[in-house]
DNA sequence: CTCATTTCTTGCCATTTGCCAAGTGTAAGC
DNA sequence: GCTTACACTTGGCAAATGGCAAGAAATGAG
């Protein structure tokens, strides 16, 4: 497992020389998570931020009635961690679970903090990385405001087709904000087109 | 107009001495925006980040059919700016408009960047501030996934009752992701209880 | 004050989605 | 093979919401 994807990811977030990107990448360690294992459990403080090299994860929490709500899916090149818990050092409100065997590159909070102080590019990367997450979330918020469930489903499987192959329908449904019954019907209509 | 609110806001985000908070507050300038004026127009790069001392603003964009979609409301002690445009230096996808006469404390991108480099607390505050915005957006996302429009409406007017007084119903409706017709009905039901 | 515009409400009906329950398919363990 | 979960689909009906249009109420300009 080499760090090419990680290095490229850094350069995508913040333009920098390959040498500098390699320097940042050195701070990350390889991790493995087997299917169904937890990267983070609700109530724990998220102490490592993982970039996914291979595999699919999901984060989820519970609604008032105790039903699982899938809050996000993570696949190749995405970052699987609870940013709020990680940066604010507070217990996470959600769990992160591997849906397939996964390989990741991760950094602990302590290491990250040390590098933030020592390496200006590191903190600049960190800030833009958070902003990117914020931007993605905002885009998803907009799609909740203006798109139908069917449109959101279409967008999801277009951008992340591998999710469709590996993820039970009920997880996708709660991510989209609908019931699995409705998604089943939507999917039926979808295939016709 | 004194900076007490601003100083308190800093200390809420990141525990620090009042002296240090005053030092950060010195970097902010007073601004005024009259009703209906724009703090930021879609397509422009957001060059100043405003903390609201008094008044109400809203941000909005357009959906595919060209209808306005209100993306957020901002009132006292909140931050009115497009964080993505501000930090990434890219054109904003949304406009920010004053719904009442407003007074703000603002800092320009250049000043902020300079202070980030010079004052560790400033960048630490900046990072946590972004994380807080991310956290709020995530919470709103969750409410879209699990709550009915009526519940979201109730939560909004409980947390920001002044919005109800100053904001046309159609803005609130598009913020909640429903039509103004539906909101009118929901409100009718709501008053009964 | 008057007129024009905007905002808000209401009725009617269609569409989407939820809820519950039954039934089918599929994979894992014994 | 049999059994037991679990995943998914389907039907029937209820609830939530949207689309359209008419009218009432509030607001703003002159």
* B104-154 residue pLDDT tens: 999 999 999 999 999 999 999 999 999 999 999 999 999 999 999 999 999
Can you list the alpha helix ranges (DSSP code H) found in chain B?
4-13, 18-25, 83-88, 109-118, 120-146, 149-159, 161-166, 169-176, 180-192
Q: Name the percent of chain A lying above pLDDT 90.
A: 83
Among B122, B135, B152, the residue to mutate for chain A (most A Cβ within 10 A): B135
Same domain, A86 and A125: yes
> Residue B168 has which token pair?
């046309």
Those residues whose C-beta lies under 8 Å from the C-beta of residue B176, and which sit 6 or more positions away, are B149, B152, B153, B156, B183
Say whether B133 and A133 touch across the interface (CB within 8 A): no
Domain that holds residue A51: 4-146
Closest CA to A30 of A107, A82, A93: A107
- Give me the tens of pLDDT residue by residue for chain B, a chain 193 residues long: 789 999 999 999 999 999 999 999 999 999 999 999 999 999 999 999 999 999 999 999 998 888 899 999 999 989 999 999 999 999 999 999 999 999 999 999 999 999 999 999 999 999 999 999 999 999 999 999 999 999 999 999 999 888 888 899 999 999 999 999 999 999 998 876 5
A35 touches chain B (CB under 8 A): no
Taking residues A13-18, report their average pLDDT.
Answer: 95
* A135-185 residue pLDDT tens: 999 999 999 999 999 999 999 999 988 888 889 999 999 999 999 999 999
Same domain, B61 and B136: yes
β-partners of residue A30 are A105
Q: Is A65 a residue whose pLDDT tops 90?
A: no
Contact A104, A30 (CB under 8 A): yes
Same domain, A110 and A177: no
Res B150: pLDDT: 93
Same domain, A35 and A8: yes
Same domain, A162 and A72: no
State the total domains in chain B. Answer: 2
A-contacting residues in B 42-81 (Cβ below 8 Å): 61, 63-64, 69, 71
Same domain, B111 and B47: yes
Domain finish residue from B130, B146, B162: B146
Domain finish residue from A126, A146, A166: A146
Res A8: pLDDT: 95
Q: Is A191 a residue whose pLDDT tops 80?
A: no
Same domain, A86 and A137: yes
Same domain, B14 and B105: yes
Same domain, A28 and A112: yes
Say whether B142 and A69 touch across the interface (CB within 8 A): yes
Same domain, A30 and A120: yes
Same domain, A134 and A83: yes
- Strand C positions within 7 A of protein Cβ atoms: 6-11, 16-21
CA A89 to chain centre: 18
Same domain, B133 and B167: no
Res B189: pLDDT: 83
Q: Is A89 a residue whose pLDDT tops 70?
A: yes
The CATH number linked to A14 is 2.60.120.10
Q: Is A193 a residue whose pLDDT tops 80?
A: no
Res A58: pLDDT: 94
């Amino acid at each position: 497992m080499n760090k090419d994807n990680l290095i490229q990811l850094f350069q995508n977030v913040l333009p920098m020389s390959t040498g500098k990107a390699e320097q940042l990448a050195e701070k990350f360690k390889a991790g493995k998570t087997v299917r169904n294992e937890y990267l983070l459990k609700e109530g724990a403080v998220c102490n490592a931020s993982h970039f996914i090299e291979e595999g699919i994860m999901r984060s989820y929490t519970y609604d008032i009635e105790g039903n699982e709500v899938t809050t996000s899916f993570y696949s190749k090149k995405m970052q699987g961690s609870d940013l709020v818990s990680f940066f604010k050092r507070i217990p996470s409100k959600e769990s992160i679970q591997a849906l397939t065997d996964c390989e990741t590159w991760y950094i602990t909070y302590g290491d990250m903090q040390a590098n933030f102080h020592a390496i200006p590019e590191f903190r600049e990367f960190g800030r833009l990385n958070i902003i990117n997450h914020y931007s993605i979330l905002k885009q998803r918020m907009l799609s909740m405001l203006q798109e139908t469930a069917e449109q959101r489903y279409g967008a999801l499987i277009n951008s992340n087709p591998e999710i469709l192959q590996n993820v039970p329908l009920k997880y996708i449904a709660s991510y989209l904000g609908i019931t699995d019954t409705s998604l089943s019907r939507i999917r039926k209509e979808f295939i016709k087109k």
